[in-house]
Structure 1
């Protein structure tokens, strides 16, 4: 499993979301998944260290997907 950290720069804050994917998933695929979500939904859930929160798609100004980190099998259980 890989962990991707997504940073959303909103109008008045920065939010981070952790996404866990299979090892064969590339960073570009995660970016495309996020862009599809933003284009098709007005609001959506994001899971961060502070819990689950709503993101208003219209308030997003910038999205960055940070480098992925391989997880050991014990970190995601």
Structure 2
């Protein structure tokens, strides 16, 4: 399993989330999946180290995905 760290930069906050994907998953696939989630949902649930948080997709300004 591969672990990715996702950083959402919002208008007034920064949220981080760890995602675990299959071993052969690529960073570009994760970014594409996140962009689809943001484009199709007005709000989405993200699981961070401090717990779950609801993200308003209209506030997302930048997404960074890194492999761990």
Deviations 1:5-56 (Å, cap 9, x if unpaired)? Answer: 1000001010001100010000000000000000000000001100110000
- 2:38 aligns with 38
Give the Cα separation in 2 of the matches to 1:60 and 1:21. 22
Shift of 1:60: 0.5
State which structure, 1 or 2, has the greater radius of gyration over its C-alpha atoms: 1
SS at match of 2:35: helix
- 2:27 aligns with 27
Ranges in structure 1 where 5+ consecutive residues have no aligned partner: 70-77
Task: Tell me which protein shows more strand as a share of its residues.
Answer: 2
- TM-score normalised over the length of structure 1: 0.86
Ranges in structure 2 where 5+ consecutive residues have no aligned partner: none
- 1:59 aligns with 59
Give the Cα separation in 2 of the matches to 1:54 and 1:5. 17
